[in-house]
Structure 1
Amino acid sequence: MNIAVIGWGSLLWCRGSLRIRTKWRGDGPVLPIEFARVSEDGRLTLVIHPGSAPQPTYWALSELDELRAARRNLKEREGCPLANIHYFPLDEASPSIPPEVETELGSWLPKHKGVEAVIWTGLKTNWEEKFDKRAFSIDEAVRHLEKLDEERRQARATYDRAKEYVQNAPPSIQTEVRKLMRERGWADAKLSDLLFEGEREK
């Protein structure tokens, strides 16, 4: 059985343990996809999200010719339960596939002669469980990313200030912390001679 793996996100550029025997092809089914799922580290990831704008996807043929084995291989790459690896053979389909997805796959599959089944990652949005039951929206996603950007800037500012305080301590102050941080690249700053009365900086 020729099994097509559908991809649209990191699967394309970070294949990991996914076993495919062709390069990614750009004429995959057009599916409603959005950055609607939050990962453990705060990243937004692309998932099928009914009602979102249709997006082109990619596909490649699995090295495996048995449906369950191909699904297990994709499951290993994605680190999710097997139930979240959806499938669409001509004679059967995963339960709970959104109608618009099933319609698109039903149209796409017959146009690709020799492809007998399709598998993909069927993870859904988890916005409500991550954000106190607030529903996903485009504005919510943008606010989340803006918050991450602000936290990054604040973290950088905190780091820069912490480094400045260690590096700019007077040259005669050589604590154990300062010595160890100097070994890690935080070189002592040379303070201006104009700061000191009656002696030059050493």
Structure 2
Amino acid sequence: MTDDLLTIPQAARLCAMSRGTIWKYVKTGEINAYRTPGGQYRIRQTDFNDFMQRNNMYPRAFHEPDNHRILIVDDEPQILKMLTAMLFRDEYSLETAKDGFDAGVKIMTFKPGLVILDLIMPGMDGFEVCRQIKTNADTAHIKVLAVTGYDSEENRDKILAQGADAYLTKPLFKDNLMQTIQSLLDAENPNTHRVSG
């Protein structure tokens, strides 16, 4: 796939719709498309982004820079709810994931600038999620803020060794959280921030 053109199947995958549904939008003119000399339809990425934005469709953040997108990963629904409420009014585009596997999918589709990552989760834990983010050339630039209710020197050293950019302990306090997030997203150099809470 080039940066500028999408096929019907590629557009369908981007918004989790069937090819038939995307084809319907193309035929009705809701999605601008053109035909190649071979008779295939192609959609310009900018036209598709506009269509998704007009319809508030996922992913919502195509037009926002990475540093406005935050993925919150935690297996506790109340923590997801609390963090979403804290960050909602600060004009970040937010997504949540309930476990490490869900996080992997959201990282590739939502393309966050920052992942707020719980360490202790069933299945794939935060240590492994962080390792996968930081060892993949396509995602290594993503900032990782590790958070845990199980503070220990071992956990702190282990997650920082996996490449986490900052570390905070639960309970999270809004002022400290917001200051840490801002410093990570505003950073213009690759040096990591070893913040503890």
Q: Which has the larger radius of gyration?
A: 1
Give the alignment's TM-score, normalised by structure 1: 0.24
Which has the higher relative contact order, 1 or 2, with Cα contacts under 8 A spaced 6 or more apart? Answer: 1
Give the alignment's TM-score, normalised by structure 2: 0.24
Bigger proportion of residues as helix: 2
